[in-house]
Amino acid sequence: MSGTIAELMSAQSSTNPDERPIRVRMAPSPTGPLHIGTARTSLYNYLFARATSGTYVLRIEDTDLARSTPEFEHDILDNLHWLGITWDEGPQAAGGEDIGPFGPYRQSLRMDRYAREADRLLQSAAAYHCWCTPEELDAVRREQEAHREPPRYNGRCLRLTDADRAAFEAEGRRPAVRFKVPPETIRFDDLIRGEVEFDNGLLGDFVIVRANGVPVYHFTVVVDDEQMEISHVIRGEDHLSNTPRHIALIQALDYTVPRFGHMPLILNPDRSKMSKRLLQTAIGAYREQGYLPEAIVNFLAFLGWSPGTEEEIFSLDELAARFEIGEVHKAGAVFDESRLDHLNGVYIRSLNDADLALRLRPLLAEAISDATLAGLVPLVRERMVRLTDAVELTGFLAEPDDVVAGWWDVDDLLPKGRDLAEVAGALGVARDELAACGDWSAEELEAAARGAAGELGWKPGDFFRPLRLAVTGKAVSPPLFGSMVLLGRERTLARLDAALERLRAAAPA
């Protein structure tokens, strides 16, 4: 049954057409900070590269000179590193040197290549000069829309005479270069979507080099992917419809067609394409708010992929070991912030004391010493969704006594059914019992407070309420006695005394 073997071989070769080594790339554009969507595309490419022992290339797509900035480039590379995503070729740091044999990895430094390849197309008449102005194109487009026709280039400059061309040149117009799209059916086998078919006869000829000489994205990707020997192009679904024009370009240039894989989009809660309007999209913003890179990676990985089991906590390494491009979903996935929050909490709780202290340190006031921080960690760990939650939780330690006292009102001290005098009495007893403790430890303080509550016939919860307010300034706080230990004997008693004074002043004589 040689047919079976032949089928098997053709199936394999369709996965990896010419046995080229696997090389993937991410190609961010430094026209904004690292976006959630770019981060996920980068992650999937990274996972694919690691799962297949391929090479991962980073290329900076900075042909939009006006909007690209070094700051954005820095944000992108820095946050990618922060997420734990590394690459084998390309600039390792913003403005830093490239690594790898296919450089430069920055499109602004590759202009001569684009010009050369555009000339080849011009020479073979696969492309032509176009003198239409943006205004003229706009007018045509509006006309087409009015007639309910698909908006596409009308091919005017394809039919120009030499005299026309000379006239435009005489006017001082500079031509753009337009690719003449062959009217063919383009078919390809998408890694994620399977067979996809487009009719390029429906496409208008598109610009590949602007009148100012700067090449356009559709052209630069194709040239760069060929010259960097990219074997698999994994990108967002928004590029699916662009793929047939890329393939047409690849064929006209006599390049090798890579395998394509189009990932589902990340969606707003209303299921439209993720946007800054409805969602926070900058990775840096999540970082600043105290999301852990581990949680973001885990969350992003599951937005459009699942290992097929019920496990859901995975490190980057574990993801790389499990990842399978064919398992990636086709449907878009809504970005659910409450799920990210949950995962972040899980990761925070999994951190050991030293690690959590290290991550909290830069967020907390200097008034909180390293020793205090060490004691704080076990008290706050289970109470945080984001690292920045620790700021609120530890405010009672960072702020001076009078500020903390300003956080509450005398009325807040009263548990249900107790009046001012009762509370003043109870607080007084508690203060004295605590002061009498020989050892200022959470265990001893708790025993003393519970003893006092019992003797007075108070429920512990009610009894602790005014204490908590007086010491931490809030009705909700980390565990009370641990908090007292960290505050220290002196400051705790001072706050209790101050509270007593306020109570007595407010109580009717």
Partner RNA sequence: GCCCCCAUCGUCUAGAGGCCUAGGACGCCACCCUUUCAAGGUGGAGAUCACCGGUUCGAAUCCGGUUGGGGGCGCCA
Residues 302-321 that bind RNA (CB under 7 A): 302-306, 308, 310, 312
Judged by beta carbon, residue 20 or residue 217, the one nearer RNA is 217
Return the number of the residue (276 or 329) whose C-beta is nearest RNA: 329
| Local structure of residue 507 (DSSP, 8 states) | S
Residue 133 interacts with RNA (CB under 7 A): yes or no: yes
Please say whether the beta carbons of 268 and 278 come within 8 A: yes
Among residues 169, 382, 409, 455, which is the contact residue for RNA, using CB under 7 A? Answer: 382
Residues from 256 through 275 that contact RNA (CB under 7 A): 264-265, 267, 270-273
Contact between 128 and RNA (CB under 7 A)? no
Binding flag, residue 188, RNA (CB under 7 A): no
CB closer to RNA out of 113 and 504: 113
CB 432 to RNA: min, Å:
19
User: Tokens representing 56?
Assistant: 């991962």
Annotation says 273 is catalytic: no
Residue 320 CB contacts under 8 Å (≥ 6 apart), including other chains = 46, 47, 50, 51
Q: Out of 22, 122, 240, 253, point to the residue binding RNA (CB under 7 A).
A: 240
Residues across the chain: 509
Q: Choose which of 165, 180, 339, 502 interacts with RNA (CB under 7 A).
A: 339
Selected from 471, 477, 495, 500, the binder of RNA by CB under 7 A is 477
Which one-letter DSSP state was computed for residue 324? -
By CB under 7 A, the residues from 1 to 20 that bind RNA are: none
Q: Are 187 and 243 in contact (CB under 8 A)?
A: no
Q: Tell me the pairing of strands 266-267 and 259-263.
A: unpaired
Nearer to RNA, 52 or 306 (CB): 306
Task: Give the count of beta carbons closer than 10 Å to the beta carbon of residue 131.
Answer: 19
Residue 125 CA to residue 298 CA, distance in Å, equals 49
The correct pick among 26, 80, 85, 176 for binding RNA (CB under 7 A) is: 176
187 makes contact with RNA (CB under 7 A)? no
**Contact string 53-82 vs RNA (x = CB under 7 A):** --------x-xx--x---------------
Minimum Å gap between C-beta 272 and RNA is 4
Positive/negative CA dihedral, 249, 157, 123, 103: negative
Among 115, 349, 412, 501, binds RNA (CB under 7 A): 349
- Using CA atoms, how far residue 366 sits from 360, 362, 395, 465, 473, in Å, is 12, 9, 12, 28, 20
Contact window for RNA (CB under 7 A) among 17-25, 41-49, 216-224, 281-289: 216-224
Helix (H/G/I), strand (E/B), else coil: 304: coil
Tokens read off for 84: 């734990």
Site for RNA (CB under 7 A): which residue of 18, 97, 197, 254?
Answer: 197
- Nearest distance from residue 238's CB to RNA, in Å? 4
Considering the candidates 180, 273, 276, 474, report the single residue annotated as catalytic: 276
Q: How many helices (H) and strands (E) does the chain have?
A: 22, 13
Distance CA 402, CA 379 (A): 24
Distances (CA, A) of 449 to 294, 431, 433, 453, 466: 41, 9, 7, 6, 12
Nearer to RNA, 164 or 501 (CB): 164
- Residues whose CB falls within 8 Å of the CB of residue 268, separated by 6 or more in sequence, listed in order: 274, 275, 277, 278, 279, 334, 335
> In angstroms, rounded to a whole number, what is the distance separating the alpha carbons of residues 379 and 293?
23
Site for RNA in 414-473 (CB under 7 A): 442, 446, 460-461, 464-465, 468
Indicate the residue among 18 and 197 with the shorter CB distance to RNA: 197
Q: Stretches 3-11, 116-124, 279-287, 478-486: which one binds RNA (CB under 7 A)?
A: 478-486
Which of 114, 478, 485, 487 is the binder for RNA (CB under 7 A)? 478
The minimum distance between CB 332 and RNA, in angstroms, equals 5
CA distance 347 to 363: 18
Interaction of residue 111 with RNA, rule CB under 7 A: no
Give the Cα separation of 184 and 193 in Å (integer): 21
Active site residues: 276
